[in-house]
């Protein structure tokens, strides 16, 4: 390899050919092009015109130059020049790529892709084997595929499919894979790092490089300091907005990043710069947002950084909900500490928007919770208004107080005794009571009760059967302190004390704030989350910071793990919970430090990522030489006078050039595309026909029966209906694309393995998008051994509630009218999805996504080449065979056409109308 600036030559020896150019110049000049030969009768006249000087004619200069250019191009092409060639490796062993594919690599992933391509090009040229090892923890099977030595082409495909992960890397964990790697010769190790240390002091990097250096010659590619990904921290709730902070790895010059705040539907709510001062690694941004806008925030990201680290999800915890304090009078400003509302305002203000006004004023706007802190007498009309609002989902929070007693019929969860109870007063023996621990079903469960909270006075509830159920908080002696009753979708909550410290010091404690906060959370319909609650993944953030469907392998998470949990393959960042309540799990809190890659030590080549893709000029040069050769031929013909330039000649030349132009255009298209094309042909083939797929069980007899049965069914369907079925196809649901098949026939064997969770995710997606799986337990009953096994293996699959086929089900009339559904056996039941809700009907056109039965239908359908049945039916008879075919046709029609036959229930009505 010989390098000249940005251009390198693979075969530099060929350049010596350039030395022959002067000789060629002389030769070309001396040997003129051969003359055109013409037989001509009037030769005698022509002979008189011959000029003796002309015989030593020379090649015209331009033609000589053309030919020299041609030869130069050929020589340069033979030397195989490459622009921006990557460093060439001297060792002859395999190429081992260590790829940091954690969140920090997403920012410049395309540069990494370029590096992959360059390295693979080089490995391909040199015929090296390649091992790819990714440092971010992934699913076990993936890393296993990577660790063996691959050809450059296979590795290119692997790397093309590689995506950054939304969690940090764990480099030390990969050393075990490195140790297992088997190879010959001295490997060349290239570490495509993310430019960050795992540990703040860089000890992990030092350890890792020393391990890599033991293996072979090490080159480390790292992002420049400025290109490192910043980390966006979850916002902190403030009274009037959110404070967003971001961290960067390099404290250098002052810089500014753009922060974009998005709402639920993805539209941008605001966009503001976050500034880093020179020498600072942390930048802060105060976002002042109106409560309505603030409540919409779900997604905050640093613009143009597209990584999981620069993206933060926001859930209800960051939202301020409007809380109304009902005040009949003006608040007395002279003695604020005696006012009930003062304490409520202080307690609610940090996390809610507090509005004060009369009930009528408050109900004019949307409001989550209304607090009635002993507002005085309420009219019946006001009470009705309040109850109506509560039933719609509001939370009415009432506090006891002197004025409550005067009300005849107050709106409360419990009936009260007359008067109040004094504890520890001058006339009482009892001491002020403390609070008892909250029960599990209380929304306050999990809150820590300070030891010094005492209640001196309270109102008492009339004992009743349901009082314990309604009690959310009680004193140590068992008297209820907070009672609540569900009314409609909302709650009526009653504090048996005042909101001012006159009856209790609870309003002065932090517990009061916590209780109110939990109640506000309750206002959205969630019972306050307890630590043991399991939250399912709803949406995940991918490596590029995009919100997508939950990652395969994402597991549910305990609510208590949200603050301490670290993002990883099991728990990728994203939303967890269910549709009514979801919590955001972010990557950035678990990343404690952000330090640039420390010094690597001696003997390590450190480089940055190149922007430019290697460009191989050989093809282009040889192509240009070919063009020149054609031009030379044309010119030689023209010199001999073979043709004059007219339209026909121009057309001919154009015709000759066309393939060249096309091939050039083709050569310019980016190379990596061929991976996609190669896959297309194989993957699209099943989509060209309607095919039933059957799942390979591994038992060859069952597989053969499935194939023969589905072929027989396809034959019957093709001969009796308009459907045009292709040949059935065997699939492995774990690896094959399922979306091409309208139905999958799945015979269950007693020893069938459990469906893997990753496969189950694929199957669930297939079912959700309209696919149908037909499980055949082949045990005659649909409720025997096979069914139990089916239940076991399909435990990860979303099996809807099932029911035996009702007599008016579409399957009984999709093509033939059927009353039973025999296969090889008969008498058992066939189970379909129960059509419970309207939503499910609409989702899949009412077609049951799963059909289960045990009649071994494939056995009944199976035919040999002569179209003779392969297996007898039991109890037997042509009628049963025919009915089995009919069921097969009905099934296929049901799967293909949906439930339109169900409309026949209206047929009598339609006929009646027509009769008129």
Q: Which residues bind other proteins (CB under 8 A)?
A: 32-33, 35-51, 54-55, 57, 638-642, 644
Cβ at position 638, least distance to other proteins in Å:
7
d(CA 870, CA 860): 8
Cβ at position 655, least distance to other proteins in Å:
22
In the complex with other proteins, the residue whose CB is nearer, 43 or 90, is: 43
Sign of CA dihedral 677, 682, 688, 690: negative
In the complex with other proteins, the residue whose CB is nearer, 36 or 439, is: 36
Assess contact for 821 and 809: CB atoms under 8 A. Answer: no
In the complex with other proteins, the residue whose CB is nearer, 37 or 330, is: 37
Sign of CA dihedral 356, 362, 366, 367: positive
Task: Identify the DSSP state of 94.
Answer: -
> C-alpha 372: how far from its chain's center?
46
Assess contact for 343 and 503: CB atoms under 8 A. Answer: no
Edge-to-edge strand ranges of the sheet holding 802-804: 729-731, 692-695, 743-747, 772-776, 850-853, 831-833, 802-804
Cβ-in-10-Å burial (0-12, 13-18, 19+) of 532 comes to exposed
How wide is the angle at C-alpha 261 spanned by C-alphas 256 and 263, nearest 5°? 170
Cβ at position 10, least distance to other proteins in Å:
42
Cβ at position 45, least distance to other proteins in Å:
4
In the complex with other proteins, the residue whose CB is nearer, 646 or 719, is: 646
Cβ at position 643, least distance to other proteins in Å:
9
Cβ at position 632, least distance to other proteins in Å:
15
In the complex with other proteins, the residue whose CB is nearer, 53 or 180, is: 53
Torsion of CA 882, 884, 888, 889, to 10 degrees: 20
In the complex with other proteins, the residue whose CB is nearer, 32 or 800, is: 32
In the complex with other proteins, the residue whose CB is nearer, 645 or 662, is: 645
In the complex with other proteins, the residue whose CB is nearer, 126 or 649, is: 649
Q: Other C-beta atoms within 10 Å of 167: how many? A: 27
d(CA 776, CA 779): 8
d(CA 753, CA 793): 6
Cβ at position 82, least distance to other proteins in Å:
42
In the complex with other proteins, the residue whose CB is nearer, 48 or 913, is: 48
Cβ at position 657, least distance to other proteins in Å:
23
**Helix axes 61-79 and 21-30, enclosed angle (nearest 10):** 150
d(CA 420, CA 401): 9
**Helix axes 152-161 and 109-126, enclosed angle (nearest 10):** 170
What are residue 817's DSSP bridge partners?
A: none
Task: Copy the structure tokens of residue 689.
Answer: 């026909």
Cβ-in-10-Å burial (0-12, 13-18, 19+) of 653 comes to middle
> C-alpha 105: how far from its chain's center?
17
Say if strands 231-232 and 241-247 run parallel, antiparallel, or are unpaired.
antiparallel
In the complex with other proteins, the residue whose CB is nearer, 69 or 638, is: 638
Cβ at position 25, least distance to other proteins in Å:
21
Task: Copy the structure tokens of residue 706.
Answer: 């499935």
Cβ at position 8, least distance to other proteins in Å:
44
Cβ at position 39, least distance to other proteins in Å:
5
How many residues in total does the chain contain? 916
Q: Dihedrals φ, ψ of 449, to 5°? A: -95, 120
Cβ at position 43, least distance to other proteins in Å:
4
Element (H, E) at 323: strand 321-326
Cβ at position 52, least distance to other proteins in Å:
10
- Helices marked H in 724-825: 757-768, 785-793
In the complex with other proteins, the residue whose CB is nearer, 36 or 431, is: 36
Block residue for tokens 């030869």: 71
Q: Dihedrals φ, ψ of 261, to 5°? A: -110, 125
Cβ at position 640, least distance to other proteins in Å:
5
Assess contact for 801 and 877: CB atoms under 8 A. Answer: no
Pick from 137, 191, 204: nearest CA to 166: 137
d(CA 447, CA 854): 54
> C-alpha 912: how far from its chain's center?
53
In the complex with other proteins, the residue whose CB is nearer, 40 or 429, is: 40
In the complex with other proteins, the residue whose CB is nearer, 45 or 866, is: 45
In the complex with other proteins, the residue whose CB is nearer, 125 or 640, is: 640
Cβ at position 46, least distance to other proteins in Å:
5
In the complex with other proteins, the residue whose CB is nearer, 51 or 334, is: 51
Q: Other C-beta atoms within 10 Å of 373: how many? A: 23
Q: Other C-beta atoms within 10 Å of 758: how many? A: 14
In sequence order, the 6+-apart residues with CB closer than 8 A to the CB of 575 are 313, 315, 537, 538, 539, 547, 582, 583, 584, 585
Cβ at position 32, least distance to other proteins in Å:
7
Cβ at position 28, least distance to other proteins in Å:
16
In the complex with other proteins, the residue whose CB is nearer, 175 or 636, is: 636
Strand boundaries in 400-507, DSSP class E = 416-422, 457-461, 471-474, 480-487, 490-495
Cβ at position 645, least distance to other proteins in Å:
10
In the complex with other proteins, the residue whose CB is nearer, 41 or 127, is: 41
In the complex with other proteins, the residue whose CB is nearer, 36 or 381, is: 36
Task: Copy the structure tokens of residue 68.
Answer: 């020299």
């Amino acid at each position: 390899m010989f390098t000249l600036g940005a251009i390198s030559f693979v075969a530099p020896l060929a350049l010596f050919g350039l030395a022959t150019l002067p000789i060629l110049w002389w030769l070309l000049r001396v040997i003129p092009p051969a003359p055109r030969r013409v037989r001509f009768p009037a030769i005698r006249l022509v002979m008189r015109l011959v000029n003796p000087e002309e015989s030593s004619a020379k090649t015209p200069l331009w033609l000589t130059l053309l030919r020299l250019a041609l030869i130069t191009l050929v020589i340069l092409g033979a030397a195989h020049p490459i622009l921006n060639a990557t460093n060439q490796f001297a060792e002859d062993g395999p190429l081992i790529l260590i790829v940091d594919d954690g969140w920090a690599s997403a920012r410049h992933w395309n540069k990494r892709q370029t590096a992959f391509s360059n390295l693979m090009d080089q490995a391909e040229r040199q015929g090296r084997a390649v091992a790819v090892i990714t440092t971010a923890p992934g699913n076990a099977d993936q890393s296993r595929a990577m660790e063996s030595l691959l050809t450059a082409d296979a590795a290119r495909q692997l790397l093309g499919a590689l995506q950054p992960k939304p969690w940090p890397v764990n480099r030390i964990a990969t050393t075990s894979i490195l140790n297992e790697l088997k190879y010959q010769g001295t490997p060349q190790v290239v570490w495509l790092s993310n430019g960050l240390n795992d540990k703040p002091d860089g000890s992990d990097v030092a350890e890792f490089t020393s391990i890599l250096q033991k293996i072979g010659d090490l080159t480390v590619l790292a992002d420049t300091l400025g290109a490192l990904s910043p980390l966006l921290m979850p916002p902190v709730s403030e009274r009037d907005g959110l404070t967003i902070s971001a961290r960067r790895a390099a404290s250098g010059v002052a810089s500014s990043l753009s922060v974009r705040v998005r709402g639920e539907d993805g539209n941008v709510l605001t966009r503001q710069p976050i500034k880093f001062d020179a020498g600072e690694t942390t930048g802060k941004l105060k976002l002042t947002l109106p409560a309505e806008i603030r409540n919409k925030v779900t997604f905050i990201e640093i613009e143009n950084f597209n990584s999981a680290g620069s993206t933060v999800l926001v859930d209800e915890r960051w939202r301020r909900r409007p809380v109304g304090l009902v005040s009949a009078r003006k608040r007395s400003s002279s003695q604020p500490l005696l006012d009930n509302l003062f304490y409520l305002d202080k307690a609610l203000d940090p996390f809610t928007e507090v509005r004060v006004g009369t009930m009528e004023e408050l109900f004019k706007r949307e409001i989550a919770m209304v607090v009635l802190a002993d507002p005085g007498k309420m009219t019946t009309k006001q009470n009705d208004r309040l109850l109506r609002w509560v039933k719609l989902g509001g939370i009415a929070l009432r506090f006891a107080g002197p004025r409550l007693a005067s009300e005849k019929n107050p709106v409360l969860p419990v009936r009260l005794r007359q008067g109040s109870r004094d504890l520890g007063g001058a006339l009482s023996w009892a001491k002020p009571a403390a609070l008892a621990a909250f029960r599990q079903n209380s929304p306050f469960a999990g809150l820590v009760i300070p030891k010094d909270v005492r209640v001196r006075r309270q109102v008492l509830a009339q004992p009743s059967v349901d009082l314990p159920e309604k009690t959310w908080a009680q004193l140590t002696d068992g008297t209820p302190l907070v009672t609540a009753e569900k009314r409609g979708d909302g709650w009526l909550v009653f504090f048996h004390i005042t909101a001012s410290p006159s009856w209790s010091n609870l309003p002065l404690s932090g517990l009061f704030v916590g209780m109110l906060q939990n109640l506000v959370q309750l206002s959205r319909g969630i019972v306050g989350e307890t630590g043991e609650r399991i939250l399912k993944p709803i949406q995940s953030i991918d490596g590029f910071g995009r919100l997508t469907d939950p990652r395969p392998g994402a597991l549910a998470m305990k609510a208590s793990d949200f603050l301490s949990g670290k993002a990883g393959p099991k728990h990728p960042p994203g939303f967890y919970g269910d549709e009514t309540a979801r919590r955001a799990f972010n990557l950035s809190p678990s990343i404690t430090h952000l330090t640039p890659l420390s010094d690597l030590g001696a003997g390590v080549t450190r480089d940055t990522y190149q922007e430019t893709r290697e460009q191989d000029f050989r093809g282009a040069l040889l192509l240009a030489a070919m063009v020149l050769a054609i031009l030379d031929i044309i010119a030689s013909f023209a010199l001999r006078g073979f043709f004059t330039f007219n339209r026909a000649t121009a057309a001919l030349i154009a015709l000759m050039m066309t393939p060249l132009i096309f091939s050039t255009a083709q050569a310019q298209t980016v190379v990596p595309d061929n991976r996609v094309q190669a896959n297309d042909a194989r993957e699209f083939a099943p989509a060209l026909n309607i095919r039933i797929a059957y799942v390979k069980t591994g038992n060859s007899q069952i597989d053969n029966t499935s194939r023969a049965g589905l072929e027989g069914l396809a034959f019957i369907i093709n001969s009796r209906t308009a459907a045009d079925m292709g040949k059935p196809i065997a699939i492995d649901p774990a690896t094959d694309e399922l979306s091409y098949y309208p139905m999958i026939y799945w015979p269950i064997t007693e020893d069938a393995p459990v469906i893997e969770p990753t496969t189950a995710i694929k199957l669930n997606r297939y079912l959700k998008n309209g696919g149908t799986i037909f499980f055949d337990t082949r045990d005659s009953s649909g409720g025997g051994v096979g069914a139990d096994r089916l239940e076991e293996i399909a435990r990860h699959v979303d099996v809807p509630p099932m029911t035996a086929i009702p007599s008016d089900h579409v399957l009984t009339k999709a093509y033939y009218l059927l009353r039973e559904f025999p296969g090889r056996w008969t008498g058992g039941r066939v189970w379909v999805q129960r059509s419970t809700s309207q939503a499910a009907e609409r989702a899949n056109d009412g077609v049951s996504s799963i059909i289960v039965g045990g009649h071994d239908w494939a056995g009944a359908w199976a035919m040999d080449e002569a179209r003779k049945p392969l297996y007898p039916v039991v109890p037997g008879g042509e009628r049963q065979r025919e009915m089995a075919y009919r069921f097969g046709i009905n099934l296929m029609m049901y799967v293909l056409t949906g439930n339109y036959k169900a409309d026949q229930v209206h047929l009598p009505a339609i006929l009646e109308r027509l009769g008129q």
